Amino acid sequence: MKILVCISHVPDTTSKINFTENDTKFDSNGVQFVINPYDEFSLTRAMWFKEKQGATVTVVSVGNATTEPTLRKALAIGADNAIRVNAEPTDGFTVAKELAEVVKSGAFDLVLAGKESIDYNGGMVPGMLATLLDFNFVNACIGLEVEGEKATVSREIDGGKELLATNLPLVIAGQKGLVEEKDLRIPNMRGIMMARKKPLTIVEPISTETTTATVSFEKPVAKSACKIVSTENIGELVNLLHTEAKVI
């Protein structure tokens, strides 16, 4: 079984986020980038298939050279090889089209991705990718077993979970539950050294038209200071809850 894991290169959630050029560009200065957490669940599950069933695991990312350390980390975790599509990930549809070309050229049976990236939270790419490839697709996946050409998949739904049976080829959009957080892999020194020798292939993008563009960014409104009300002044408390908090 040939598995492709789609990796997004995203800012660490502890990073301080700023914008430049009149809030139209993301400021990456001083920002630490990591493997998108949802993609990390999918990568860990792919490693299980490699170890238990002898699958080969390739990781892919759409981005410039700054994404290569993130791909190298995925190689250190245990992926066999990596592909970087040399293009800026400007919108979800463009990324999906680039990934579709990688899947077609590599004849992959199973494509694993996170359900969304934690920077833009678009949640578009896996579904678009499945449509472009005419593959089966399962979103919000929390369980995956594969035997031959058959897959058993569980996904999160409102108030519970759904168990599905489907066939390969298949695109999965994973999340927490696909593996548990305690099972996520941390690269060890041996893995880091081996990753330096594993192939990282750079491919040029296909000619695609960008269909959407970012107009501007806006940070959430800063939290206001807390107001302390004396326990003896119930009238003022009620007035604040009514006129400012608007909860009564």
Mean pLDDT in residue range 131-144: 95
Could you give the CA distance from residue 115 to residue 175 in angstroms, rounded to a whole number?
A: 6
pLDDT digit string, tens, across residues 163-203: 999 999 999 999 999 998 888 988 888 889 989 889 999 99
Could you give the CA distance from residue 127 to residue 144 in angstroms, rounded to a whole number?
A: 17
Contact assessment for residue 35 and residue 69, using Cβ atoms and an 8 Å cutoff: no
Could you give the CA distance from residue 111 to residue 99 in angstroms, rounded to a whole number?
A: 10
| pLDDT reported for residue 64 | 93
Pairing, β 2-6 against β 160-167: unpaired
Could you give the CA distance from residue 50 to residue 78 in angstroms, rounded to a whole number?
A: 9
Q: What is the CATH number of domain 2-219?
A: 3.40.50.620
> What is this structure's pTM?
0.85
pLDDT digit string, tens, across residues 8-19: 999 998 888 888
| pLDDT reported for residue 85 | 96
pLDDT digit string, tens, across residues 56-105: 999 999 999 999 999 999 999 999 999 999 998 888 999 999 999 999 99
